[in-house]
Amino acid sequence: MAYHVLWFKRDLRLHDHEALVHAAQCAAADGQSVLCLYALEPSLWAQPDAAALHYTFLRECLQDLQTDLQAQGAALLLWVGEVLPALDWLQQHAGVAALHSHQETGNAHTYARDRAVARWCRAHQVPWHEQVQFGVLRPLRLRSQWLPHWQAQMARPTFAQPAQVRWASAGDLARGGVAAALADPSSLGPGAPCAVWQVADLPPASALGLDPWVAPLRQRGGRQQALQDWERFAHSGCAAYRGGISSPLSAPTACSRLSAHLALGGLSLREVVQATRSHMADPGTSARQRQGLAAFLSRLHWHCHFIQKLESEPALEQANLHRGYDGLREPDWNPAHFEALMQGRTGWPMVDACVAMLRQTGWLNFRMRAMLVSVAAYPLWLHWREVGLWLARQFLDYEPGIHWSQMQMQAGTTGINTTRVYNPIKQAQDHDPQGHFVRHWLPVMRRVPDAWLFEPWRMPASVQAHCGVQVGVDLALPLVDLQAATRSAKARLHARRAQPEVRAAKAAIVERHGSRKAPFARKGSSRPADAAAPSRAPAPPASGPQQMALDF
Ligand SMILES: Cc1cc2nc3c(=O)[nH]c(=O)nc-3n(C[C@H](O)[C@H](O)[C@H](O)COP(=O)(O)OP(=O)(O)OC[C@H]3O[C@@H](n4cnc5c(N)ncnc54)[C@H](O)[C@@H]3O)c2cc1C
């Protein structure tokens, strides 16, 4: 018996799972069964953006998936090894009628792996049916096609889990010899992969070579948790969304906290978009909640808008989007600055408190992420790539398409965005005026008097002695003079930007990656433009400062 292999990737759910629906239809048509496969690929976990934090969350997602599959009588084959040997092995022991999955816009490693899988499928004449995940278009020939595509994808009805699926059950696999062969390690070859049937039997993070640190206050993964998080946001959090998402004090509850669930697919983006719209249309939803949901909906556009950039330009994970910025920061890499940033010892309390929060929770709101990158990229003059790898390992919701596009945008190397520099002292004054946030995450700041909250390094020796805080010992001194270093960084960036060849190359980037239309009809409106007829012609590319303006 050959199987329709349903390869789960970052789509760990059964609801609104197009690849599952398609696999079930194909299996029903040719009298075969659907075999569910998840491959825990050691090579992927060896990449510099991987962390035990992600792995722990993944296991929780897999656990929910396995429970849901078991309730259907389906087995989940957990292959601990690379995908190609898994396919080889299944082909040899059972036969692969077809491979079914969602399209993935991942990192360079998964991109190369998917190309290898495509070659394998061609060589073995196995059809690979890849379904669209998110509102990302492959291939995107014209950027103006993107918004209509996003709208059409989000308007499609969600896929209910098919009632009748011929699943490969544990019993079928045992009878077909697959389970028995898997139980016999010699059938898998020397040194190599193994397969388990229970998530609990997956290897620990250390076996994958991962640093064991896992943020103790992180969010939990899995479909059930994702649904609970959505319910919390839809019924209480969203009322505080507008106005609440900028301060790191209010953001943890005002934001949806759905990003990690979207990254591993515990929720489909479409189901979130549709649930948001129906909640907005519900007469029981207050005006304040509706405003919050409308602003949230705009972020769901941005989700795919940014992933589309990586889909269209896979190199942006490693190289400047605008190659005219090559060599700008590279020669000046300062390991001491980077180390101090990672340790939360920059000397700017708001920055150091964010690093502490990130380490404990695996999450920061958008503004604080942007501030961290801005501090790294301007006054500390660090190249975005290493900083981005470090942050990728800290963010529970690491999504390569959003992450690398944002890293470059905040570092000023896209060539099409206005330079945005976040002053960490001003951010503290605006978003943590009483110092509740910094004092929570940096206990030493609790001893610093209010008058010195924003610039504690200026405390006179007598004040330091009085409050028992020695600057340079208990609190780091700022690594550089903020104003002077920022001014010099901006001047260097702008000098590069002014070069004729750099200016000349900008238009092509706007054409390929620029946003075409703000998701809102006008600023302040609670009516999302995406509610308009999808056939409306998109506006011409924006190239001014509003290009990437986010309505914070
Ligand atoms: C340097 C940097 C790196 C980032 N890396 C990631 C990442 O790896 N993964 C990730 O999901 N987000 C990333 N973001 C975007 C944003 O900070 C997070 O999506 C958001 O903080 C997640 O919390 P939330 O789900 O509560 O967001 P909400 O505000 O509730 O937003 C809902 C969803 O919209 C999307 N979204 C929100 N803001 C943005 C944005 N600015 N750009 C694109 N999509 C957005 C996310 O999918 C998010 O889950 C990054 C931002 C910056 C500045």
- Is 104 in the same domain as 29? yes
pLDDT for position 187: 62
Distances (CA, A) of 14 to 68, 72, 102, 129: 8, 11, 13, 17
Do residues 149 and 198 both lie within one domain? yes
Q: How far is the CA of 498 from the centre of ligand 1 (A)?
A: 31
Which residue out of 105, 134, 238, 259 has the highest number of ligand 1 atoms within 8 Å of its CB and is therefore the one to mutate? 259
The enclosing domain of 182 has a CATH number of 3.40.50.620
Do 247 and 348 lie in one domain? The reply is no
- Look at residue 456 and tell me if it is in a domain: yes
- Which long-range contacts does 229-238 make (Cβ < 8 Å, 24+ apart)? 229/256, 229/257, 229/258, 229/261, 230/256, 230/258, 230/267, 230/272, 230/275, 233/257, 233/258, 233/296, 234/275, 234/276, 234/279, 234/293, 237/292, 238/279, 238/289, 238/292, 238/293, 238/296
Say yes or no: 93 and 172 in one domain. yes
- Which of 308, 366, 389 maximizes ligand 1 atoms within 8 Å of its Cβ, making it the mutation to test the pocket? 366
* Same domain, yes or no: 38 and 99: yes
Atom of ligand 1 nearest to the CA of 261: 49
201 shares a domain with 111? yes
Provide the number of structural domains found in the chain. Answer: 3
pLDDT grade, residue 143 (50/70/90)? confident
Structural domain harbouring 203:
3-160+168-208
Ligand 1: distance of its center to the CA of 305 in Å?
12
Q: How far is the CA of 403 from the centre of ligand 1 (A)?
A: 8
Would 542 be classed as within a structural domain? Answer: no
Q: Is residue 459 part of a domain?
A: yes
pLDDT digits (tens, 9 = 90+) for 43-63: 999 999 999 999 999 999 999
Residue 214 lies in a domain: no
What is the per-residue pLDDT across 310-360, written as a single tens digit (0 to 9) for each? Answer: 999 999 999 999 999 999 999 999 999 999 999 999 999 999 999 999 999
Task: Say if residue 192's pLDDT is above 80.
Answer: no
CA of 453 to the centre of ligand 1 (A): 29
What percent of the chain is modeled with pLDDT above 90? 84
Flag whether 261 is in a domain.
yes
pLDDT above 70 for 309 = yes
339 half-sphere exposure, CB direction, 13 A CA radius: 3
Give the CATH number of the domain where residue 269 resides. Answer: 1.25.40.80
Indicate whether 510 belongs to any domain. no
Q: Are residues 33 and 155 in the same domain?
A: yes
Q: What integer pLDDT is reported at residue 189 of this predicted model?
A: 57
Are 267 and 354 in a shared domain? no
Tokens matching residue 321: 């989007």
Residue 550 within a domain: no
ipTM exceeds 0.85: yes
With cut-offs at 50, 70 and 90, classify the pLDDT of residue 526. Answer: very low
| 249 and 328 within one domain | no
Answer yes or no: is 47 within a domain. yes
This model's pTM is above 0.90: yes
Domain at 415, CATH number? 1.10.579.10
Q: Which residues are 36's β-sheet partners?
A: 6, 76
Residue 196: per-residue pLDDT: 85
* One domain, residues 130 and 265: no
> What rounded mean pLDDT belongs to the chain?
91
* Higher local confidence (pLDDT), 463 or 550: 463
